[in-house]
Amino acid sequence: MRVTIDEDKCCGYAACLSVAEKVFDLAADNIAAVLVEHPQGELADQAREAAAACPTSAIILLDDTE
Ligand code: SF4
């Protein structure tokens, strides 16, 4: 899995941090930053939870082949 952020959609609500604080951080411009681009195991589960929790669907999860 590869995690990316659509910076045009991210509104800095930080819901992603509350469920996956090891995968995401908020940059100074209040846009989410990806700390672990290729999460495995528990962190991959947290990244999926964060994508589901993001109110603007700004978190994009890709197959590693994409
Ligand atoms: S939950 Fe979505 S909108 Fe909020 S900071 Fe994370 S990526 Fe951005």
Per the structure, the count of domains in the chain is: 1
Q: What are phi and psi of 16, to 5 degrees?
A: -65, -35
Please list every protein residue whose CB sits less than 6 Å from any atom of ligand 1: 5, 10-16, 32, 54, 56, 58-59
Say how many Å lie between the CA of residue 23 and the centre of ligand 1: 12
Q: What are phi and psi of 59, to 5 degrees?
A: -95, 125
Say which residue, 29 or 47, is predicted with more confidence: 47
Domain boundaries, position 46: 2-62
Paired with 60 in beta bridges are 4
Give the three-class secondary structure for 44: helix
Per-residue pLDDT, 11? 94
Mean pLDDT (the chain, rounded)? 95
Q: pLDDT band for 66, please (50, 70, 90 cuts).
A: low
Say how many Å lie between the CA of residue 65 and the centre of ligand 1: 24
For residue 10, give the CATH number of its domain.
3.30.70.20
Q: What are phi and psi of 26, to 5 degrees?
A: -105, 125
Per-residue pLDDT, 64? 82
Q: What percent of the chain has pLDDT over 70?
A: 98
**Is this model's pTM higher than 0.95 or not?**
no
